[in-house]
Amino acid sequence: MKTSTQATAPTFLTLRVEGMDCGGCERKVVSALERLDGIEEVTASSITGSVKIHHHDHGAPSRKTIEGILNELGYQVASHDGQTHASGSASPWWQTAKGRLVIITGNLLIVAFALRLAWPALGNVPFILATLVGLMPIAQSAWGALKMRNPFTIEMLMCIAALGALAINAAAEAAMVVFLFAVGELLEGVAASRARRSISALANLTPSTARLMDNGHLRDVSAESLKPGQRVLVRPGDRVPCDGRILVGTSDIDESPVNGESIPRSRAPGDDIFAGTVNLDAALEVEVTRGADDNTIARVIRLVEEAQAAKAPIARFIDRFAYYYMPAVVLLALLMAIVPPLVSTMAWSESIYRALALLLIACPCALVISTPAAIAAGLSAGARRGLLIKGGAVLEQLGKLRLVALDKTGTLTAGTPRVTDVESWIAEEDDNSVLRLAAAIERDSSHPIATAIVEHARQSGLNLPTATGSRALAGRGVSGQVEGRELSLMTPRHLHEKVILEESLSARIIALEEAGKSLALLVEGERLLGLIAVRDEPREDALEGLAALSRLGVQAVMLSGDNARTVAATGGRLGIEAYGELMPEDKAAYVRDWQATGRGPIGKVGDGINDAPALAAADVGIAMGGGTDVALETADAALLKNRVTGIAELIDLSRATLRNVKTNVVLALGLKAIFLVTTALGITGMWIAVMADTGATVLVTLNAMRLLGYRFSPSTALTGLSQGKTTS
């Protein structure tokens, strides 16, 4: 009985556990630990190989006590330094406990067959000894679970089946069953460790050492020891050891290890870079902005592990089904042992044999692991491609989306305006002259439009003169003297204060604004010299990403706070429904209205800041961003590569994962059903039953691992049916 809730704050203890490789293992661990006083909640994940214990500071069992219970159940716990007490999870299979059991039982079986051939008079004695020796570690685990009032474990069923086989003089088959069980357990462990390696690969992206700049001297230090504010030198070809900000140097950075983006990006002083990325060209001096426990790689690993440990709705359903399924099959086996001899001429030895075989099939390991293995593989595949998904429930829901609402600025568009048109309106000035004069006035301004004009002038190779007396005209523009001329850059709505426009010029201004462009008009005295138009252009992959959504049968809608004319123009260019001049609460209201009218599960994509209410209201909130706090912590999913095509990729990955889950469930239940019938009819025996159980577990796990090779092609996605390919 648990202790009552205490005044002390609850805390968490997370342990790494070796040998916990299936759903049956999870239930055994949870059942044993939840019975301890002071324990509030226990969650175990065979996919991540971890146990998380929610307890109170006072009255809770010690770590040593918990480790003792887990050891008694047959599992090894990682020590405080992260290494297992015995054989670590990275050890070769023959050095693990399960590997040693296979070697021992296999050799015992060979020796037993040899002794029978050499000395037939020994009869079943060699097989009895082989069975008992091989059964000892299995019986120890079963006894540990039984003491914790958990009799329905695969180890207990194995013990009953093997000892029962000895009792009915089927010693050779009993020894074979013990050996096959050991092989199956080993294969389960190998398959599960392969799933865990996808997370370990992420951890290995960060180098172990860094070159710390300390008072003008360089020294190698552990990357884990870096603290915010310190400076490190990252040489060409080195992996970046920390999240940081470039202080000195410009270089191309390969960010594919973090976000899956194949094209290197140029980074300059002031730009942020992430741990695990690769510096390609030049040496960089970088200021550390996050410690090792909080850098991008560490946070991605933490999110993936938490997501893999969180069960999807379909996984919770399978768990509930398995909870009732196993006792039901045990009852069926008991009836098989007792009823046939009473109502027919079947011998008791035959009915008991069939019942024992049924017991071996009863363990629902394959069924229970079928869903979390696929979910975990899907989450890992997404993380490796810059798609962060916070849990199996989110992954499952993504595939059901039928409408996705997207923000405009920074999501469908680049987020920074670019010059699209430069026009001179008087004969004395050409287009380059208009651009040169305007850029001179704007050179010292940080306004996005000013930045776009200056950047365009520099890209055009223009030498900018010096402007003097520059001053802002509140709400109207900016003015200054350039080469002795008094010039102003003004917005169209205030142009009438200085200039009387001809009808043709007014029509041109209206046409440019209706095209979604913002205008800066260059004025000298009462003369209009020309104009510069800028626009926040759609991302390069915006049309491709929206087309991929359409092919997946998902409708895209734009929700933006920008002015209605600009939003309509952008929506028209992209070919989607668009709504403008919306406050954050207005966006959330649209999402709730669509949900109420049954337009299907709704996804919302935005930057996670002004879109926060809509992200929260949507069935799935997806944040765009290159590893920002908002992208990683606010929404249900995040696109680290910051590309529109990633939205369709998320949905396609979800559908591929759900197809894999369905295949696994069919495999697990189908094999169980077939061998339950054939065993009940006496067609198949005990060793076939063991292969049916452990073989199915390995089969569904390996099938799930195919998702680790997931590939998506936006151009080949079909409406309503994903063509995302998985490879072994």
Q: According to the 3-state scheme, what is the secondary structure of 339-393?
A: HHHHHCCCCHHHHHHHHHHHHHHHCCHHHHHHHHHHHHHHHHHHHHCCEEECCHH
Task: Look over the chain and give the mean of its residue pLDDT values, rounded to a whole number.
Answer: 81
How many residues make up the chain in this entry? 728
Backbone torsion region of residue 238, taken as left when φ is above 0, otherwise alpha when ψ lies between -120 and 50, otherwise beta: beta
Rounded to whole angstroms, the Cα distance separating 658 from 476 reads 56
Of 88-92, 218-222, 532-536, give the range with the top mean pLDDT: 218-222
When pLDDT is averaged across residues 370-381 and rounded to a whole number, the result is 79
Rounded to whole angstroms, the Cα distance separating 605 from 405 reads 6
> For position 613, what pLDDT does the model report?
74
Name, in order, each residue with C-beta under 8 angstroms of 316's C-beta and a sequence gap of 6 or more.
Answer: none
- Tell me the sheet residues that pair with 52: 14, 43
Of 36-50, 121-135, 327-341, give the range with the top mean pLDDT: 121-135
Cβ-count burial 390-427 (b if 16+ within 10 Å, e if not): bbbbbbbbbbebbbbbbbbbbbbbebebebbbbbbbee
What tens digit of pLDDT does each residue of 563-579 get?
677 788 889 989 999 99
Rounded to whole angstroms, the Cα distance separating 323 from 371 reads 15
Neighbours of 138 (CB within 10 A): 23
3-state helix/strand/coil string of 307-344: HHHCCCHHHHHHHHHHHHHHHHHHHHHHHHHHHHHHHC
> For position 368, what pLDDT does the model report?
66
Rounded to whole angstroms, the Cα distance separating 19 from 349 reads 35
All domains of the chain, ordered by start, with CATH? 12-77 (3.30.70.100), 210-294 (2.70.150.10), 387-413+540-640 (3.40.50.1000), 418-535 (3.40.1110.10)
- Reply yes or no on whether 407 is catalytic: yes
Q: What is the dihedral of CA 90, 255, 261, 392, to 10 degrees?
A: 50
Of 649-653, 666-670, 688-692, give the range with the top mean pLDDT: 649-653
What tens digit of pLDDT does each residue of 191-202 get?
666 656 655 666
Alpha helices in 443-502 (DSSP H): 448-459
- Tell me the sheet residues that pair with 557: 405, 577
Residue 134 has pLDDT above 80, yes or no: yes
Please provide residue 630's backbone torsions phi and psi, each rounded to the nearest 5 degrees: -60, -45
- Active-site pick, 238, 243, 319, 407: 407
> For position 690, what pLDDT does the model report?
74
> What predicted TM-score, i.e. pTM, was given to this entire model?
0.64
What tens digit of pLDDT does each residue of 454-489 get?
999 999 999 999 998 888 765 567 889 999 999 999
Beta strand 403-406 pairing with 265-267: unpaired
Quick one: which of 402, 654, 418, 664 has its CA closest to 535?
418
Residue 650 has pLDDT above 80, yes or no: yes
What tens digit of pLDDT does each residue of 486-521 get?
999 988 877 877 788 888 888 998 888 888 888 889
